[in-house]
Structures are given as C-alpha cells and as structure tokens.
Chains A and B, each alone.
Chain A
Amino acid sequence: MSLTREEVEKVSLLARLRLSEAELDQMTRQLGTIVEYVELIAEVDTTGVEPMAHVADVANVFRDDEVRPSLPRDEALRGAPNHDDECYRVPAVMGD
C-alpha cells in the first residue's frame, strides 16, 4: 500500500507546507517509497514481542525540581521575526 496524492496534500496542509502540483507529484512518489520501505517491517512476525516505546533501553531519567536561571528576555526574543521588547508579535490570534 502506497501513499495517495490526497494523503500527501493533507499532510502538507497539517505541516503548513504549500506545495506546487509538480512538488506534490514528487513528494507522493518519494514519500511513498519511504512508506513502502517501512512496510517491509510489517512482514516480520512480531507475535509475543512487546511494542518498543524508546530505542534506548533506559527509563526514569529525572531532574530535581530546582529553578535555574532563565534566558535574559532580549536574548529570548532576539531570534523572533517581530517583537516589542516584552512579547513576541504574531499575526492576530482570534477565537480562543
């Protein structure tokens, strides 16, 4: 089972990517190859194998609840396309 063009269109919308018709065709083909490759795994009999949640066989990595210094505000805002020295400025958020 490969990817359909409609599926790629939907994923590109979710990823906020505007693809041209040509790019859509190309992506459908390329992503399809990747999906097909991953589907090879489905041929392996996994009866009795526990699903893996993480590649590293480690658990319980914690830090103590201690406050550490935050970034200076000007440094935090510096990379933003738009800010007013206090907040990030973004196109209007309406609704909720």
Chain B
Amino acid sequence: MSKPHEVIIGLEIHVQLATRSKLFCGCSTQFGAEPNTQTCPVCIGMPGTLPVMNRRAYELAVRTAAALDCEIAEFTKWDRKNYYYPDLPKAYQISQYDLPFSENGGLLVHDPKQQIEPRFIRLIRVHLEEDAGKSMHDEAAGRDDSRIDLNRAGTPLMEVVTQPDIRTPLEARLFLTELKLVLTYLGVSDCNMQEGSLRVDANINLHVDEGGETVATPIVEVKNLNSFRAVERALEYEAVRQLDVYEETGQRIGDVPKQTRGWDDAAGVSRAMRHKEESSDYRYFPDPDLVPVRITAEQIAAARAAVGERPAELRARLEREFGLGGYDSDVIVNGGRELVDYFLELAERAGDGKLASNWLQQDVMRALNDRAITIGEYPVSAAALAELLAKVKGGELDRNRGRDVLADMEAHGRGVEAAMASLGIESVDDDALVALCRELIAANPAIVADVQAGKAKAAGALIGQARQKNPNVNPGEVRRICLELIEAM
C-alpha cells in the first residue's frame, strides 16, 4: 500500500507566434522550407548586425497576456541568456529575465466530461524570446556529426509558465487543451504541435504525507512531449515512478539535482537524459542592442478591451441564452469562432437553441467532417438552414425529410423551397390528407380493430402505408387524423 501523496505539476509551454517574419529580422518564418534558406546575418549571429523588434510579435504577445488576465508591464526589456549549443549561433538567446512583458494571470480549466471540478491554474509569467535552430543527428549516414538547420533560429516564441497548481495528469491535458483553444481564438498561433508551433515541458514531483509531515520529492522535468495525450501519459507514468523511487531511496527535494527525463511515447516510459556538463549558469544581462518597450495604461486597457469573448465566456453564453448543456456548448465552442457565429445566427433565427444545436452537430458538423471543409466553406447559410428548421418545427417536414432537403441544399446550393420542389415535396392539403386516411382505414379493418381495442400503436402501420402512397405526407398529421376518424366510427 503506497503512502498518501499529492502530485504537483507545473507546465512550460512555448508557442510560436503567427508572424510572417522573425522576431528581430525580416527572414520568413514559413514552416517546411529547405534547410538554411531562411537566414540572414542577424539571425545567424554575424558580428556587427543589429536586431530590431517585430511590432506584430509584441502585439500578439500583449493580446495573449490580456486574454490570460496577466498583469502587463508598462516597461519591458530584453536580456541575453548565454549558453553554448550548436543550434544557437550567437551563443546567447535573446529572452526576458527580470522584467518580462507580463506576469501572473491564469486560466480556468474545465472538463466537458465533468471528471474534475473546474479549477483556476495560475500563471507565473508570459514572456517573449527567440527560438533556436534545429539539430538533426544523421544516424542513417553513419556519421558521428550533427546537421544544423538555422531556419527556425530567431522565430518569435512566447513562453507561458504556470504555477505548480496542476494536481493530476488529466488536469494538465485539460489545461493545455483550453490554452490551445484560447490561443487559436486569439489568432496568435496556429498551435501546430507536429510543426513545433506548440511545445510543452512538464515539471512534476510529489508531496508525500509522512504521518502529518509533508515531504517533497525531487523535481523532474519531462521533455519530448509530442501531443497533449503524451503529456498526460508521461505524467501518469512519472507520478508512479517517482513514488517508487521515493519509497526505495527516501530522496527528498534538494538531495539530488533536478533531473531531466525524455518521454518515449511508443515505449511508454521516461528515460533520464544526459546531464549538462555544468549546472545552468546563463549569466543573463540586458541586451545592449535592443531598446526597451514601453506601453501606456491606455494601450493596455485597449488590448484588454480587444480580447472579446473567450471560449469559457462563449460556452457560458450558449448555456445561458440557448439552454444548451455543457457537452453541447463545448463541442460548438471547440469548433472555433466561425462555427459559434454560425450557431448564434442559426439559433436566433430558428428561435430554438437546442434544435439548432442538434442540427449543427448531427448534420452540419458531420458534413464539414465528411467533406473536410470549414464552416466558412459550407454551402448552406445559417439563414437558409434556419428556414428549414422552421419547417421542421412547424411540422411541415419530419426529421428525415428535413435531412433529405438539407442534403439537396448542400449538393446544389439551393434554398429550402427550391430544394423541396426538386424533391417533389409539396405540402399536402388537408382535404387530400383526410381522403387518404379514410381510404387507408377502409382498406385495413384489422388495424382499425386493434386501435379500437386500445392499441394506439397499431396506427403506425397506417402511417407507413400513407407514406408509400404519398411521401409528402406528414406522419404526425396522418396519425392524428387516423386516430380521430377511428374514434368517430
């Protein structure tokens, strides 16, 4: 039986900002170019060059800080973080040390499946820095050297550092999911993990309860986390491993240096990474090549005002104004701002949030998925779909006929009326409907007898026959009229 303990997790997230050019020079940030074709004397660290700050990168960073409720500094500066590594051509990284552009703030983590209570995860800081290049070890060639591509060197990165507020691996995954959604809504990054636009490192240790005394175990930093699921799995593994190590060795925080471990997702294990030769001593100092940035309180207020509704606020609004459940609001908000706008217009026009939500999720989103298109490319406007929903709601069309009509609208880009006409759907006038029901009753004395004997369900067979004779009849109407006629017999 293992000792009672609490898992303590903090995350560091590097996000590549969606700029066209690098942080301090005009080289392109486009992913996937031939190696070393997007570099210049500034980003490969030639002597005598002068970095100049990308205005857009700073604006995107401030927008993010505003959305994460950070305190935004009216004064921020740039520092050099000195270390030697082959992918760092200047032998220093331009980063922010003691005066980052923003601090504090946080993000409310929620769980659509409600496995956990919503929790507010505080942030320590968000700062800006430049990325390093990429090193590749050329094993295939059997050579004992590494290849360096500096296209990425100097790309603007935003580093988001959380407080060690996260208590479970699941919570870590949910935090990352929400953070990514916020960043995507803000348009500050494409958050593509495969292309390295979003990278996560996790710090984890345990607080073990030793008969009332809390003992902290050594902190481990986990790297090579290539998906949010990998973050969750690595942390699950690490929590168990650390407890085993603690029970075996009794090692506490401070007894051993902080360890870095790499996650092997295929094998499902973490492995110790080689220790750097000396403990980190980055000898930060202010970069004399770059001047500080000042921002006024008015500009900060304007940045906050420009944030708009964040995903959590949108979810709350969909639930409050349209009566949606937590699961439905989550699905729609996860679809992105454009999908939410489509829903809002649809729900307003249809006057029925739940009906709009059902059709959006079951029909529209399925179509988007099948055709691999965005809501912006979807051929049926919210206004046109709302007209269709009005007919379904009014009983003119049932769900299945409504689907046929929508399929026709999607395929031919027609309006509801035109689609119904092309499918030969016309509303059947009441006299014709009554005549049809009389005809069916006369032809089916056995069913009539069943209904009279109290089996109202038997009328279903009449509906089936009615639809065979005229596919345009409304099943609900047929049922109502048949039952009335039988009762009057």
Contact = CB atoms under 8 A, between A and B. Distances in A.
Given A54-B286, A70-B28, A76-B36, A63 B55 contact: yes
Contacts of A60: 291, 293-294
Interface stretch (B112-120, B144-152, B237-245, B446-454): B144-152
A43 interface: no
| Residues of B in contact with A, size category | 35 or more
B324 to A, nearest CB: 39
A68 interface: yes
Interface in A1-33: 10, 13-14, 16
A66 B224 CA distance: 32
Contacts of B84: 16
Contact of B291 (A58, A71, A73): A58
A86 interface: yes
Nearest to A90: B86
Contacts of B55: 62-65
A73 B36 contact: yes
Nearest to A57: B291
A43 B50 CA distance: 34
A54 B146 contact: no
Contact of A14 (B39, B283, B292): B283
Given A14-B281, A60-B294, A70 B40 contact: yes
B278 A14 contact: yes
B44 A92 contact: no
B34 A76 contact: no
A66 B279 CA distance: 39
A38 B209 CA distance: 50
B292 to A, nearest CB: 5
Given A56-B291, A71-B39, A73-B34, A96 B262 contact: yes
B54 A89 contact: no
Contacts of A64: 55-56
Contacts of B87: 93
B77 interface: yes
B38 interface: yes
B37 A73 contact: yes
A65 B57 contact: yes
B32 to A, nearest CB: 14
Contacts of B99: 53
A95 B292 CA distance: 36
A56 B184 CA distance: 38
A66 B149 CA distance: 22
B379 interface: no
Nearest to A62: B55
Contacts of A65: 19-21, 54-57
A76 B278 contact: no
29 contacts: A10-B278, A14-B278, A16-B84, A53-B99, A54-B286, A54-B292, A56-B291, A58-B291, A59-B292, A62-B54, A63-B26, A65-B54, A66-B26, A67-B20, A67-B27, A68-B21, A68-B25, A70-B37, A70-B38, A71-B40, A73-B37, A84-B147, A86-B36, A86-B147, A88-B150, A91-B144, A91-B145, A96-B260, A96-B262
Given A60-B294, A71-B40, 4 more contacts: A14-B82, A54-B292, A65-B54, A93-B86
The 10 closest A-B pairs by CB, nearest first: A68-B26, A65-B56, A87-B147, A62-B55, A95-B274, A88-B148, A90-B86, A93-B146, A53-B77, A59-B294
